[in-house]
C-alpha cells in the first residue's frame, strides 16, 4: 500500500499548510464561541486584492506566452475548464440532497488550477528527464479563469431560474411573503453578507412586483452580463486585462504578489468561521462529495489527456505538454478558487467545495494523477 | 521631428505604467457597468497611508539635508511652488467654462514634484558630466508640499467665498432650499463621499442659519486653519514633522515605502471609476487644459531658472543645481499630488488634473524641459 | 552619575523610536485640532493583525523550544507573569485617585515582555561571555501571554463586580437611568468605540432588567469565558494555537511579521489621538505611576531571580538562564502589550500604561536591571 501511505502523508501535510490551518482555526474558534470579527470592509478589500492578483498573474503569464504555438492547447484548456463545470452540474448536483449551488461551486473549484500541484508535476517530470514546451505551464490561466467564470454564470442562471419558477406558482401576495421568508433565511444562514450583486438581483425581482416578464422564460444574456459586472468577476477580468495589455509588473511584484498568501490566510479564517454554522448541512451528503473528489480529478485529467493527444498528432504538442495539460485539469484550486467563488457564488457552502478539494482532490491529483499521466504518456507516445 | 517621436514614445510608455494603467482600467470598467466597489473605509485608509508616506519621505530628506547651504535655493523652491498655484489661479481658472476648483487643483499638481522626472534629469546630467550639489535633489519637498498646501487653501477660500456670496443674495428660506439642492447635487456628482472637512464646512454654514457674519467679508485665517486641520493636510504635515524630528526610518522602509506604489494603484482605480462619470464635464474645456499643460511646465521651469541664477550669483549655487531647481518646477506630480488633491479638494475633477499632468505635462517636462534648461545653463553660466 | 546619563540617553532615544514618535505625534495633532481619522474597520483590522502576530510568534517559539528541559523555568515564567498583575492590582490600584482599570492595564503591560529589552540583555551577556540555555529566550511567551490574559480577566471581573454593586443600591428605574448615563459617559470619554465584548456585557445586564441574579455574588467563570471569547484574546490565542500546532511560518514571515511594526505605528497614532482627551485624568496621579514604573521592574526581576535560583538548584538551570528570566520579568512590553490591552481593556487610559512603561519602566529595566541581575548571578552562583 505504497499509494495509501503516500496519500496519507500528503493529507497530513495539507492539514498543517497555512491555507487549511487557518480554515480549521476559523472553524474551531467559531465552535468555541469566539466573538472574533473581521470588519466587512476588510473582507471586501481582501477579496478584491486576491481576485485582482489572480487576474494579473494570469494576464502577465498570457502576455509572456507564445500565443501562436500554444493556440490549440490553450483552446483545449478553455474547453476543458468549461466542460468540468458542466460535468459537475449534471453529476454531483443531481445526487440526492446535494445542493445545486454547492455542487456548481465545487465543480468550479475542480476546474480551477492549483499552482502547487502543477509545480509538483514539473518537479517529477524534470527528475525523469521528460521534455515539455517552456510555455506549457502558461496554459493554466486558460483553464483556471474560464472554469471560475463558467461556474459563477451557471450558478447565477440556476438561482435566477429557481426564483422565477417559485414566483410563477404563487400569487403576488404569496410571492412577496415567500420572498421575505427567503431573504430572512439567507441572512440567518450566512454570517457574512451576501454580495451586492445577489442583493440587487433580489431587489430587481421584488421591485417589479409580480414578476410577469419571468413567466415565460429566463433570459440568459442579462444574467451572464450581470455576473461579469459583479464585483468578483470585474476584479478578476480587470486584473487579466491589465496583465495582458499593460506593464503592471512593478506593482504586481512589490505589492499584489507578496500580500497574496497572507491575505488568503485571513480569508480562510473568515471562511472557516462561516463554515462552522453550515457544517451540519453537509452531514447527509458528505459521502457524495468524497466520491466526486476522488473520481473527478482522474476523469478531468483523462479528458484533457485525450484532447492533448489530438494536439500531439495535429501540431506536435510534446508528450510532456500533454501531461502538463492533464495535471492542470486534474488539479483543483486552493488559491485562486476560494476567494473567487466566495464572492461570485455567495450562497454556496465553502465547507463543501474547500473540504472536497483540499482534503481529497489535491492528494488524489498529486499522488495518483501525476504518475498515471506520465506513465500513460510514455506508454502511448513514447515521451 | 526628433522631439515629436521622443514625445510620442514617452507618451506611449506612460499609458502602460501602473499609475496610468489602473486609472484607465477604472475608467473602462466603470464605462462597462462594473459593480466593483472599494469600501470607503479602505479608501480613507489608502489616502492616509499615501499622504503620511509623502510627508515622511519629504521630512527624512529635509532632516538629512544641509540646511544652511541650501537656505536660499530652498526658499526659492517654496516661493516657486506657491507662485505656480497663483499663476494657475489667475490664468487657467479664468478661461471660459473652466471650473475654478479644477484649475486650482491642476495648478497644485503642476506645482508638486515628480520624482521620476527628477530622476530622468539627474541621469541626463550625469551622462553629460554636469556637476551639482549633492543636496540639490532634496529641494523637492520644499516645492512639493508648499504647492499642495497652497492649492488646498486657495480652493477652500474660493469655495467658502462662493458659498457666502450665494447666501447673501438669498433670504434665509431660499438659502436653505439652495443648500439642500447643492448638497444633493454634490452627492450625485461624486460617487465617493466628499471629505469630512467639506461636509463640516457646509454644516457650519447651515447650522448658523442665515449666515450673517459672512455678509461683509470671508475671513481667511479660519479657512487656512481648517484646511491645515483637515485629514489630508494633517496626515501630510504629521508625516513631515515625524520625518524631520524623529527617526521613523525603520517603519518607513519596512512599511510605508514598500506599500506605496501598490496602494497608489488602487487609488488610481478608484479615481478612474469616479472619473468616468465626470469625463463629460471636460469635453468643452479639454483644449484649455492641453494648452496649459503644454505651456505651464516650460514657464514654471523658466521662473525657477531665473531664481536659481540669483542664487548662483549670490551664494555660488552651481549651474547643475539651477537645472535641478528648474526641472523640479517644470515637473508635475503623478505620485504625491493625486492622493493629496483628491482628499484636500474633493470637489475638483480628477480627470482634469491627472489627465493634464500625466498625458501632456510630464512628457513635455522630460522631452522638452530637461534639454532646454541644461542647454540654457551651459550657455549662460558655462556649467 | 554614570547611571543617570545612561538613563537620560536611553530616554531620549525612546522618544525618537517610531513607537513613541507616532504616539506623541497623535497627541500633538489631536491637541492642534486635527480632523484626521482612521476608520474603525481599519482600527479593528490592525488590532487583529497585531494580536494574531503576537500569538503566532509566541506559538512558533514554543513549538521550536525544548519543552521537557524548560518545564520548570516555563512554569515559573507563567507564575511570575500572573503574579505581576496581582501585585499591581493590590498596590498601584489601591493608591489614592488611581483608577483601578488603568492600574490593572499598567500591571499587565509590566508583566508582558519587551523583545528589545531582552535583546539588550543577550547582547550584554554575550559580551561578558556568560553562558545560557539556547531555549532561554523562548521563555518570553510563557510570561507575556499569561500576564496579558490575567490582566484582561481581572479587569473584566472588576468592571462586572462594580456594575453589579452599583445596581444593587438602586431601584430598577434608578438603575436604568444610571445605565443610560454611564453608557453616554463612556461614549463621550472614548473617541474610538469600546469593544463589542464590553458592549455586550452591558447589554446582558440591561436586558435582564433589574439584575436579581447578581445580587448575591458575581460568578467568575462566565467572565473568564467571556474574556477568552472576546475578539482580543480570541485572536491572540488563535495565533498561539496555530503557531504551536501548524506550520504557519510561510505566511508569518511573508505577511504578519513584516507588516507588524508599520501597523503598530498606526495603532500608536490612534492611541495618541485618543490619549490627548484623557491626559487630564492623569494629572493628579502621575507621580504614583512614576513611582510604580521605577520600583516595579526591579521588584519583578527580583521575584523571577528568586524563582530562577530554585530552578538552578533543582534542575541545573544556568545562572545565565536565571538572568534572562529576571530580565523578562523586569521588562515591560511596548509591542505586544498596547494592542492587546487596548482591545481587551478598552476602558483603561492608554496614556497611563504606555507612558509609565515607555518613559520610565523600559529605561530602568535596561540601564539598572540588566547590570544588577548579571552582577547578582555572578556573585551568588558564579555564572
Does residue B58 have a pLDDT over 80?
A: yes
For residue B330, pLDDT beyond 80: yes
pLDDT digits (tens, 9 = 90+) for C176-208: 565 555 554 443 333 344 443 443 444 333 334
CA nearest neighbour of C72 among C298, C301, C325: C325
Cα(first)–Cα(last) distance of chain B, in Å?
28
For chain C, positions 151-210, list CB contacts with chain A under 8 A: 196-197, 200
Least confident of A82-91, A99-108, B9-18: B9-18
Q: Is the pLDDT of residue B193 over 50?
A: no
Report pLDDT for A29: 92
Burial class (CB in 10 A: 0-12, 13-18, 19+), B12: exposed
DSSP summary character for residue A92: G
The per-residue pLDDT for B15 is 65
Highest mean pLDDT among A10-24, B18-32, C318-332: C318-332
CA–CA dist A297, A295 (Å, integer): 6
Q: Considering the domain boundaries, does residue C184 fall inside one?
A: no
Q: Chains meeting C at 3+ CB pairs closer than 8 A?
A: A, B
Confidence tier at B175 by pLDDT (50, 70, 90):
low
Instruction: Give the residue from chain A lying closest to B28, CA to CA.
Output: A238
Does residue C341 contact residue C227 with C-beta atoms inside 8 Å?
A: no
Q: Note the pLDDT tens digit of each residue in A248-307.
A: 998 999 999 999 889 988 988 987 887 777 777 677 788 889 899 999 999 999 999 999
Q: Which residues of A touch C45 (CB under 8 A)?
A: 38-39, 42
Q: Picking from A93-97, C269-273, C376-380, which range would have the lowest pLDDT averaged per residue?
A: C269-273
B203 within a domain of the structure (yes/no): no
Residues 6-45 of B with CB under 8 A from A: 15-18, 21-22, 25, 28-29, 32-42
Identify the residue whose cell numbers are 478598552.
C346
Interface probe with B: pick from A56, A200, A237, A242, most Cβ of B within 10 Å: A242
pLDDT of residue C171: 55
Residue at B373 is within a domain = yes
- Give chain C positions within 8 Å (CB) of A269: 238
Provide mean pLDDT across the span A338-367.
84
> What DSSP letter does each residue of A279-318 carry, written as one string?
HHHHTTTHHHHHHHHHHHHHHHHHHHHHHHHHHHHHH---
CATH of the domain at C242: 1.20.1530.20
Stretch B225-242: mean pLDDT: 83
pLDDT per residue as tens digits for the range C260-300: 889 988 988 987 887 777 777 677 788 889 899 999 999 99
**With helix as H, strand as E and coil as C, how does C84-127 read?**
HHHHHHHCHHHCCCCCHHHHHHHHHHHHCCCHHHHHHHHHHHHH
Q: Using one digit for the tens of pLDDT, what is the confidence trace for A52-79? A: 888 898 889 888 887 788 899 999 999 9
Q: Could you tell me if B255 and C259 are in contact, meaning their C-beta atoms sit under 8 angstroms apart?
A: yes
Cα–Cα distance, C308 to C325 (Å, whole number) = 7
User: Cα separation of B378 and B381, whole Å?
Assistant: 6
Q: What is the DSSP letter of B154?
A: H
- Residues of chain C with pLDDT > 70, as a percent, come to 83
What pLDDT score does A80 carry?
96
Give the model's pLDDT for residue B260.
87
Please give the mean pLDDT across all residues of chain C.
Answer: 81
User: Do B265 and A247 lie within an 8 Å CB cutoff?
Assistant: no
C63 part of contact set with chain A, CB < 8 Å = no
Neighbours of chain A (3+ CB pairs under 8 A): B, C
Mean pLDDT, rounded, for C302-326: 94
Q: Which three cell numbers stand for residue A53?
A: 492578483
Among the residues of chain C, which ranges form H helices? 2-16, 18-31, 40-63, 71-90, 100-111, 115-127, 140-168, 172-189, 196-207, 220-229, 231-245, 249-251, 257-276, 279-282, 286-315, 319-330, 337-344, 350-354, 362-364, 370-381
Q: What pLDDT score does B3 carry?
A: 60
Cell of A159: 438561482
pLDDT category at A226 given cuts 50, 70, 90 is: confident
- On whether residue A207 sits in a domain, the answer given is no
**Nearest Cα to Cα of residue C139 among C120, C159, C161, C113:** C113
For the cut 70, the answer to whether the pLDDT of residue A179 exceeds it is no
In-domain check, residue C197: no
- Residue B46, in any domain of the structure: yes
Specify the residue for cell string 514618535.
Answer: C21
A81-95, B158-172, C86-100, C299-313: segment of lowest average pLDDT: B158-172
What is the length of chain A? Answer: 383
Better-predicted residue by pLDDT, C362 or C297: C297
> In angstroms, rounded to a whole number, what is the distance separating the alpha carbons of residues B63 and B246?
9
Nearest neighbour of A235 by CB, restricted to B33, B36, B39:
B36
For residues C208 and C179, the answer to whether their CB atoms sit within 8 Å is no
Q: How many CB pairs under 8 A join A and B?
A: 80
Q: Is the pLDDT of residue B190 over 50?
A: no
Other beta carbons within 10 Å of A48: 27
* Contact by Cβ (8 Å): C167, C132: no
Mean pLDDT of A357-382: 86
Partner-chain contact A41 B42, CB within 8 Å: yes
Which residues on C lie below 8 Å from B45 (Cβ)? 38-39, 42
Q: Which residues of A fall within a CB distance of 8 Å from C235? A: 36
More confident position, B305 or A361 = B305
Do residues A332 and A294 touch, judged by C-beta distance below 8 A? no
Residue of chain B with shortest Cα separation from A45: B38
C-alpha distances out from residue A188 to A200, A338, C254, Å: 18, 22, 36
Domain, as residue range, for B36? 18-165+217-381
Inter-residue contact C201 to C222 (CB < 8 Å)? no
Chain C contacts in chain A segment 309-368 (CB below 8 A): none
Angle between helices C319-330 and C71-90 (to 10 degrees): 30
Mean pLDDT, range B85-93, rounded to an integer = 93
The overall pTM is greater than 0.80: no
Give yes or no for residue C86 having a pLDDT over 80: yes
Q: Which chains touch B (3 or more CB pairs under 8 A)?
A: A, C
Give the residue-averaged pLDDT of B98-102: 92
Give me the residue label for grid cell 486657495. Answer: B154
Our CA angle for B48, B50, B54, nearest 5°, is 115
Question: pLDDT value at position B191?
Answer: 38
Q: What angle do CA B166, B172, B176 make, to 5 degrees?
A: 70
Residue C300 lies in a domain: yes
Are the CB atoms for B381 and B322 separated by under 8 Å?
Answer: yes
Farthest-apart Cα atoms in chain C, separation? 70
For chain C, say whether B255 makes contact (Cβ under 8 Å).
yes
Number of other residues whose CB lies within 10 A of the CB of residue A173? 9
Write down the mean pLDDT value for chain A. 81
pLDDT of residue A168: 73
| C20–chain B nearest CA distance, Å | 9
- Written as nine digits, the cell of B4 is 515629436
* Alpha carbon distance B52, C188 (integer Å): 28
- Count of domains in chain C? 1
For residues B352 and B200, give the distance between their C-alpha atoms in angstroms, rounded to a whole number.
26
Closest CA to B51 of B239, B295, B197, B321: B239
Confidence grade of residue C16 (pLDDT, cut at 50, 70, 90): confident
Distance in angstroms (rounded) separating the CA atoms of residues A230 and B20: 23
Contact assessment for residue A258 and residue C254, using Cβ atoms and an 8 Å cutoff: yes
Q: What is the pLDDT of residue C177?
A: 62
Looking at residue C303, what is its pLDDT?
Answer: 96
Neighbour tally for A1: CB within 10 Å: 7
For an interface test with C, which of B228, B233, B238 has the most C Cβ atoms less than 10 Å from its Cβ?
B238
Q: What is the pLDDT of residue A264?
A: 86
Ranked by mean pLDDT, the top range of B23-37, C7-21, C277-291 is B23-37
Q: Which three cell numbers stand for residue C241?
A: 494555537
Hey, are the CB atoms on B242 and C35 less than 8 Å from each other?
no
| Residue-level pLDDT at C205 | 38
pLDDT over 70 (residue A26) = yes
Cross-chain Cβ contact C17/B197 below 8 Å: no
Closest CA in chain B for residue A198 = B35
Give the chain B residue whose CA is nearest to the CA of C261. Answer: B251
Q: Are C20 and C14 in contact (CB under 8 A)?
A: yes
For B105-160, what is each residue's pLDDT tens digit? 999 999 998 877 887 888 888 888 899 887 888 888 889 889 999 999 999 999 98
| pLDDT, mean over chain B | 81
Separation between Cα atoms, residue B120 and residue C283, nearest integer Å: 55
**How far apart, in whole angstroms, are the C-alpha atoms of residue A293 and residue A298?**
9
Q: Which of A15, A32, A259 sits opposite C255 (nearest CB)?
A: A259
Among the partner residues C196, C241, C259, nearest to A35 by beta-carbon distance: C196
pLDDT tens digits along B247-285: 999 899 999 999 988 998 898 898 788 777 777 777 778
Whether residue B328 lies inside any domain: the answer is yes
Q: Nearest C-alpha of chain B: how many angstroms from C33?
A: 6
Contact call for residues C322 and C292 (beta carbons, < 8 A): no
CB contact (8 A) between residue B247 and residue C37 = no
Instruction: Identify the burial level of C96 via C-beta atoms within 10 angstroms of its C-beta, where 0-12 means exposed, 13-18 middle and 19 or more buried.
Output: exposed
Amino acid at each position: 500500500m505504497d499509494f495509501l501511505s503516500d496519500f496519507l502523508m500528503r493529507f497530513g501535510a495539507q492539514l498543517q499548510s497555512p491555507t487549511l490551518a487557518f480554515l480549521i482555526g476559523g472553524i474551531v474558534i467559531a465552535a468555541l464561541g469566539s466573538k472574533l470579527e473581521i470588519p466587512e470592509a476588510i473582507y471586501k478589500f481582501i477579496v478584491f486584492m486576491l481576485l485582482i492578483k489572480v487576474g494579473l498573474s494570469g494576464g502577465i503569464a498570457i502576455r509572456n506566452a507564445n500565443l501562436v504555438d500554444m493556440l490549440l492547447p490553450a483552446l483545449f484548456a478553455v474547453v476543458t475548464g468549461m466542460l468540468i463545470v458542466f460535468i459537475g452540474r449534471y453529476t454531483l448536483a443531481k445526487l440526492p440532497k446535494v445542493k445545486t449551488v454547492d455542487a456548481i461551486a465545487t465543480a468550479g473549484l475542480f476546474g480551477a488550477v492549483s499552482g502547487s500541484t502543477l509545480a509538483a508535476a514539473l518537479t517529477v517530470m524534470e527528475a525523469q528527464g521528460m521534455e515539455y514546451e517552456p510555455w506549457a505551464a502558461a496554459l493554466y490561466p486558460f483553464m483556471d479563469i474560464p472554469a471560475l467564470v463558467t461556474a459563477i454564470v451557471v450558478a447565477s442562471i440556476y438561482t435566477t431560474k429557481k426564483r422565477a419558477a417559485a414566483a410563477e406558482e404563487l400569487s403576488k401576495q404569496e410571492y412577496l411573503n415567500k420572498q421575505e421568508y427567503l431573504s430572512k433565511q439567507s441572512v440567518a444562514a450566512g454570517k457574512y453578507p451576501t454580495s451586492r450583486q445577489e442583493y440587487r438581483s433580489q431587489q430587481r425581482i421584488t421591485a417589479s412586483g409580480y414578476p410577469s416578464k419571468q413567466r415565460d422564460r429566463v433570459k440568459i444574456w442579462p444574467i451572464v452580463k450581470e455576473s461579469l459586472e459583479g464585483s468578483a468577476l470585474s476584479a478578476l477580468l480587470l486584473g487579466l486585462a491589465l496583465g495582458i495589455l499593460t506593464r503592471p509588473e512593478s506593482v504586481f511584484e512589490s505589492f499584489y504578489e507578496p500580500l497574496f498568501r497572507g491575505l488568503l490566510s485571513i480569508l480562510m479564517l473568515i471562511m472557516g468561521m462561516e463554515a462552522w454554522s453550515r457544517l451540519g448541512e453537509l452531514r447527509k451528503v458528505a459521502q457524495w462529495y468524497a466520491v466526486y473528489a476522488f473520481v473527478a480529478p482522474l476523469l478531468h485529467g483523462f479528458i484533457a489527456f485525450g484532447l492533448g493527444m489530438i494536439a500531439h498528432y495535429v501540431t506536435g504538442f510534446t508528450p510532456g505538454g500533454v501531461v502538463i495539460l492533464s495535471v492542470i485539469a486534474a488539479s483543483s484550486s486552493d488559491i485562486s478558487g476560494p476567494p473567487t467563488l466566495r464572492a461570485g457564488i455567495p450562497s454556496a457552502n465553502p465547507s463543501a467545495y474547500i473540504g472536497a478539494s483540499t482534503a481529497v482532490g489535491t492528494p488524489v491529483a498529486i499522488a495518483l494523477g501525476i504518475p498515471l499521466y506520465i506513465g500513460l504518456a510514455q506508454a502511448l507516445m513514447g515521451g
